[in-house]
């Protein structure tokens, strides 16, 4: 018996995505998305995500396709570095990978927050995210500096990998304007 051919993925310009701030009522679906993408993303308590939605909705977003949450990106602007967006976590539903949603979410957050620097951490085993950060820096014609933020010893060797900080910037508003995140805003 022959297997049915896999359906073709729609082309990038055929799908429309909506971006908006995360709300507390989204957390049930956001959490399901995070659980489904383990081990690629760290999983914090639901309480953490409720607090992000409650207190950081201006910096945390969801992306929807046909009223379904298909991506989530969290982060904040540290009080000590008001010119910097720190990206904590970004996740994209497996069925929607390949549409550049992670990059588009980060561009949207950087543009919306009008920051000059982007920061994010990666584990040494997460070459995909590290490459994405380097690509983002190239796209924005900005430097990407990498430094050790927390070592495995800082985590008392409990199995948590080291966290490498990637800092991109300065980001020129003119350079940023060249790159559209191409979302419909809710």
What CATH number corresponds to the domain at position 45? 3.40.630.30
Q: Under a CB-based contact definition with an 8 Å cutoff, are residues 83 and 119 in contact?
A: no
Nearest to 163 by CA among 136, 134, 129, 135: 129
Q: Is 59 among the domain residues?
A: yes
Q: Is 7 among the domain residues?
A: no
In tens digits, the chain (186 residues) has pLDDT values of: 565 554 455 565 678 999 999 999 999 999 999 999 876 677 789 999 999 999 999 999 999 999 999 999 999 999 999 999 999 999 999 999 999 999 999 999 999 999 999 999 999 888 888 999 999 999 999 999 999 999 999 999 888 899 999 999 999 999 999 887 677 776
Q: Is 141 left (phi over 0), alpha (psi -120 to 50) or beta?
A: left
Q: Under a CB-based contact definition with an 8 Å cutoff, are residues 133 and 166 in contact?
A: yes
Q: Is 6 among the domain residues?
A: no
Please compute Rg for the chain using Cα positions. 17
Domain that holds residue 49: 14-185
Q: Is 40 among the domain residues?
A: yes
Structurally, how many domains does the chain consist of?
1
pTM of the model: 0.88
The helix or strand, by DSSP H or E, that contains position 68, with its residue range, turns out to be strand 68-76
Q: Is 5 among the domain residues?
A: no
């Amino acid at each position: 018996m022959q297997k049915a051919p896999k359906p073709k993925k729609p082309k990038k310009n055929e799908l429309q995505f909506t971006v908006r701030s995360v709300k507390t009522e989204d957390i049930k679906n956001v959490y399901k998305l995070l659980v489904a993408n383990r081990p690629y993303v760290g999983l914090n308590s639901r309480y953490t995500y409720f607090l992000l939605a409650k207190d950081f909705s201006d910096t945390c977003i969801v992306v929807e396709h046909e009223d379904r949450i298909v991506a989530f990106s969290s982060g904040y602007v540290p009080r000590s570095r008001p010119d910097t967006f720190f990206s904590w976590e970004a996740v994209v539903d497996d069925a929607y990978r390949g549409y550049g949603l992670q990059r588009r979410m980060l561009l949207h957050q950087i543009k919306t927050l009008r920051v000059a620097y982007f920061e994010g951490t990666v584990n040494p085993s997460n070459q995909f995210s590290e490459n994405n950060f380097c690509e983002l820096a190239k796209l924005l014609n900005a430097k990407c500096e990498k430094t050790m933020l927390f070592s495995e010893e800082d985590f008392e060797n409990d199995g948590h990998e080291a966290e490498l900080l990637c800092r991109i910037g300065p980001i020129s508003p003119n350079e940023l304007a060249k790159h559209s995140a191409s979302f419909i805003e809710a």
